[in-house]
C-alpha cells in the first residue's frame, strides 16, 4: 500500500520533522543529527525538493546540522536509483553517511557510488576487536581506504576501554557506543563533554614522542569558512597565488575538504561571473565546490601518516593535518619526502642489519611501555632462542647460519598477527610482543611456530644429515658428539596490572633455562 499510495514518503517527512524539532532543543555547539533514510523511499515518485530545508529553517538550523544515513541493512538498493537520490541530496548541500557498513553484501559498491562523507563500521566488527586480529585488519583496511577517499569513519558499538583504544589506534575518527553514551530519549542526559572519554585520551601515553611530527613540517595555509561568499573566494585566489587550492573549514574549525581554483575558473572568467558571485542567493554556500582531501590526525604519528600517503594516488600534492578533526595545516610533498628519509634513517640505526627487524633499543621501549600501560593492556612477551646453533654454524658455515636466522625471521612475520611487535635481539635470539591476546591462543600459535621451524629448517641440511636427524660436531669443550637438528626454545611471560618490572629479568632468565629442556613453550604470569 505504501508504494502504491506514496504514504511512506509523507510518513518519513513527519518523522523527519519530529527528529529535527527535538534536535533543535539540544543546546550544544557543533552537534550533528544523523537521520536514517528508509531505503524504500528512493523509489518514491512524489519526491519534491526543499522539504528538509523548509523544516530546518522552521527550527533555525542549517544544512550542516544533518547527515542523511543510508543503511546496508534491509532493502537492497538499485545502483541507478541510489545515485540519483544521492545526487539530489548532495546538490542540495546535504552530507551523506553509510550506516552499518560491512554487514551487507554490497558495501564496497555502495561506498564507491555514494561518495559518502562518513561511514559507520557495524558493531559486529567492533565487538572484541582488541582480541580479534582479523577484525582489526579488516577495520584498519577500511579506515585507510575511507581516508584516502576523503571520508571519515565512526566505530559503532564501543563498549569497553580496550575496544576504544584499539579503534583509536587504527585511525577511527569518531566513536559511538555504550562506553560513551547509553541510548536515551532525555535531552538533559546528552553532554557536550564526556569526562570519562577525555580522561581515557589524557591517560593514553602509549605513543612514542619520537614518532610525532615536528611543527616545522606543517605549513599553515590559511583556510576559508564554508559560509564564505563565492565572491570572496575569487578574491582569495586572486590575492593568494602560491597555492591553487584552499582548505575549507566549518564554523567550529573542523576540516571539510578543499576547493580547487580550477573548479571555479569557469565561473570567475565568465562574462557575468563576478556579478553572480556577489549575488547572495546564488553563492550562499561553498559546499557544492568542496572536494575530499586526504587528511590525518597529528596524533597518528609519522609512521601511520607516511603509510597512508603511500597508498594515495600520485596526483596528491601533500596531506592535510588535523588535531581532533580541527584543521591544523598542510604537509607538502617535499616535507613528506624529508620526513620519510629522516624516519628511514632513524629506523635503520635501530634495527638488526641482517633481518631488518627492530633491535634492543625498541625492545627496551616496548617492555617499559608494557609495564607503564599494564592497567590498559595485558601484554605477552615471547623470547625465542635457537638450540644447537653453534655446531650448525661450525659444520655448514655462517652463510647458512644467516639463512636459518632469516628463515625464522620470515616465519615470525608470517605467522604472528600484523600488529605484533617482532624484534631481533641479536644472533639467534628473537623477541615477540603481543597486546590483548588470549594466553591459550598465544601458547598454541607459538607451539605451531616451533614445529614449523623445526620442519622447514631441515631443508638447510644435507640429505644424509636430514636422514640421520643429527649432525656430528665438537661442543664448547672440544668434545666430538651428536647434535640434534636446529630447533627453537621459547619462554612466554604475561605482563598484567599486578606485574612488577623489578622481577622481569630474574623471571626471564629462569624461564629461558627451563625452556631449553622443554618440548613446549614455557609460560609464566609475572
Q: What CATH number is attached to the domain comprising 479?
A: 3.30.70.270
The DSSP 8-state label assigned to residue 397 in this structure reads: -
Structural domain span for residue 232: 215-344
Helix axes 389-396, 398-415, angle to 10 degrees: 130
Cβ neighbors of 322 (< 8 A, separation 6 or more) are 255, 295, 296, 297, 298, 328
Is the same domain home to 392 and 457?
Answer: yes
* Domain annotation covers residue 32: yes
**So what's the pLDDT on residue 386?**
92
Domain shared by 33 and 136, yes or no: yes
22: in domain = yes
The single residue listed with the C-alpha cell 611543527 is 215
Q: 277 and 221 in one domain? A: yes
**What's the half-sphere exposure (Cβ side, CA atoms, 13 Å) at 253?**
9
Q: Which string of b and e fits 475-514 if b means at least 16 CB within 10 Å?
A: eeeeeeeebebbbbbbbbbebeeebeeeebeebbeebbee
User: Which of 305, 298, 302, 299 has its CA nearest to residue 321?
Assistant: 298
Same domain, 312 and 386: no
Residues 322 and 363 in one domain: no
* 129 has pLDDT over 90: no
Specify whether the CB–CB gap between 227 and 285 falls below 8 A.
yes
Going along 314-466, which residue ranges are E strands? 318-323, 326-332, 379-387, 421-426, 429-435
Give mean pLDDT, residues 336-349: 73
Q: Is residue 133 part of a domain?
A: yes
In-domain check, residue 349: no
**What pLDDT is attached to residue 209?**
47
- Say whether both 506 and 359 belong to one domain: yes
- What is residue 431's predicted lDDT score, i.e. its pLDDT? 93
Same domain, 187 and 110: yes
Domain count, the chain: 3
The Cα–Cα gap between 425 and 112 comes to 45
Residue that terminates a domain, selected from 344, 377, 409: 344
User: Residue range 332-337: average pLDDT?
Assistant: 84
* pLDDT at 258 exceeding the cut of 80: yes
Strand order across the beta sheet in which 245-249 lies: 224-225, 245-249, 255-260
Q: Identify the band that residue 436 occupies on the pLDDT scale cut at 50, 70 and 90.
A: confident
| Same domain (yes/no): 146, 236 | no
**Does the pLDDT of residue 152 top 80, yes or no?**
yes
Q: 381 lies in a domain?
A: yes
Q: Which pLDDT tens digit goes with each residue over 479-496? A: 888 888 999 999 999 998
Average pLDDT, the chain: 81
CATH number of the domain bearing residue 139: 3.20.20.450
Residue 467 lies in a domain: yes
Spatial separation of the C-alpha atoms in residues 388 and 429, rounded to whole Å = 13
Q: What is the mean pLDDT of the segment spanning 307-317?
A: 64
| Residue 363, in any domain of the structure | yes
- Give whole-number Cα distances, 291 to 245, 275, 325, in Å: 10, 24, 17
Between 72 and 436, where is the model more confident?
436
Nearest-angstrom CA–CA distance, 96 and 100: 13
Q: What is the pLDDT of residue 242?
A: 86
Of 47 and 66, the one with more pLDDT: 66
The verdict on 53 and 113 lying in the same domain is yes
Q: Based on the fold, state whether residues 127 and 153 are members of the same structural domain.
A: yes
Residue 382 binned pLDDT confidence (cut-offs 50, 70, 90)? very high
pLDDT score, position 202: 63
Helices 230-239, 261-268: crossing angle, 10 deg rounding: 110
User: Residue 244 sits in a domain of what CATH number?
Assistant: 3.10.580.10
Angle at 480 between CA 476 and CA 486, to 5 degrees: 70
One domain, residues 297 and 249: yes
- 176 φ, ψ to 5°? -145, 135
Say whether both 499 and 386 belong to one domain.
yes
Amino acid at each position: 500500500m505504501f508504494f502504491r499510495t506514496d504514504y511512506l514518503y509523507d510518513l518519513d517527512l513527519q518523522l523527519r520533522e519530529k527528529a529535527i524539532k527535538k534536535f533543535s532543543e539540544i543546546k550544544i555547539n557543533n552537534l550533528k543529527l544523523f537521520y536514517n533514510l528508509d531505503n524504500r523511499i528512493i523509489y518514491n515518485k512524489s519526491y519534491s525538493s526543499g522539504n528538509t530545508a523548509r523544516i530546518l529553517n522552521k527550527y533555525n538550523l542549517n544544512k550542516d546540522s544533518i547527515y542523511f544515513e543510508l543503511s546496508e541493512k534491509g532493502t537492497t538498493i538499485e545502483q541507478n536509483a541510489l545515485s540519483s537520490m544521492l545526487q539530489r541530496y548532495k546538490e542540495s548541500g546535504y552530507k551523506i553517511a553509510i550506516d552499518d557498513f560491512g554487514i551487507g553484501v554490497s558495501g564496497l559498491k555502495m561506498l564507491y557510488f555514494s561518495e559518502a562523507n562518513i561511514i559507520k563500521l557495524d558493531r559486529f566488527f567492533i565487538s572484541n576487536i582488541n582480541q580479534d586480529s582479523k577484525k582489526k585488519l579488516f577495520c584498519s583496511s577500511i579506515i585507510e581506504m575511507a581516508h584516502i577517499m576523503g571520508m571519515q569513519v565512526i566505530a559503532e558499538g564501543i563498549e569497553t576501554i580496550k575496544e576504544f583504544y584499539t579503534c583509536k589506534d587504527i585511525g577511527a575518527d569518531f566513536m559511538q557506543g555504550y562506553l560513551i553514551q547509553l541510548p536515551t530519549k532525555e535531552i538533559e542526559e546528552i553532554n557536550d563533554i564526556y569526562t570519562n572519554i577525555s580522561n581515557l585520551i589524557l591517560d593514553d601515553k602509549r605513543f612514542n614522542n619520537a614518532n610525532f611530527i615536528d611543527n616545522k613540517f606543517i605549513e599553515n595555509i590559511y583556510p576559508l569558512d564554508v559560509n564564505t561568499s563565492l565572491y570572496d573566494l575569487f578574491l582569495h585566489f586572486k590575492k593568494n597565488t602560491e597555492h591553487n587550492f584552499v582548505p575549507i573549514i566549518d564554523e567550529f574549525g573542523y576540516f571539510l575538504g578543499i576547493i580547487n581554483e580550477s573548479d571555479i575558473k569557469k565561473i570567475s572568467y565568465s562574462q557575468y561571473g563576478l556579478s553572480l558571485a556577489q549575488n547572495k542567493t546564488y553563492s550562499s554556500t561553498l559546499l557544492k565546490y568542496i572536494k575530499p582531501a586526504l587528511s590525518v590526525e597529528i596524533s597518528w604519528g609519522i609512521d601511520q601518516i607516511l603509510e597512508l600517503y603511500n597508498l594515495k594516488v600520485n596526483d596528491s600534492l601533500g596531506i592535510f593535518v588535523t588535531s581532533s578533526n580541527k584543521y591544523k595545516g598542510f604537509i607538502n610533498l617535499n616535507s613528506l619526502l624529508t620526513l620519510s628519509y629522516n624516519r628511514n634513517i632513524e629506523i635503520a640505526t635501530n634495527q638488526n642489519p641482517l633481518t631488518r627487524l627492530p633491535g634492543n633499543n625498541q625492545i627496551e621501549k616496548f617492555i617499559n611501555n608494557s609495564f607503564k600501560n599494564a592497567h590498559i593492556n595485558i601484554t605477552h612477551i615471547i623470547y625465542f632462542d635457537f638450540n644447537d646453533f653453534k655446531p650448525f654454524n661450525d659444520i655448514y658455515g655462517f652463510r647458512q647460519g644467516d639463512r636459518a636466522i632469516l628463515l625464522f625471521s620470515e616465519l615470525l612475520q608470517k605467522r604472528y598477527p600484523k600488529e605484533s611487535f617482532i624484534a631481533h635481539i641479536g644472533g639467534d635470539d628473537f623477541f615477540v610482543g603481543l597486546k590483548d591476546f588470549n594466553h591459550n591462543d598465544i601458547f598454541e600459535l607459538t607451539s605451531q611456530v616451533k614445529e614449523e621451524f623445526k620442519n622447514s629448517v631441515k631443508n638447510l641440511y644435507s640429505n644424509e644429515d636430514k636422514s640421520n636427524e643429527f649432525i656430528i660436531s665438537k661442543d664448547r669443550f672440544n668434545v666430538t658428539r651428536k647434535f640434534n637438528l636446529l630447533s627453537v626454545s621459547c619462554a612466554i611471560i604475561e605482563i598484567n596490572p599486578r606485574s612488577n618490572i623489578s622481577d622481569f629479568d630474574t623471571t626471564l632468565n629462569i624461564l629461558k633455562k627451563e625452556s631449553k629442556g622443554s618440548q613446549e613453550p614455557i609460560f609464566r604470569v609475572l
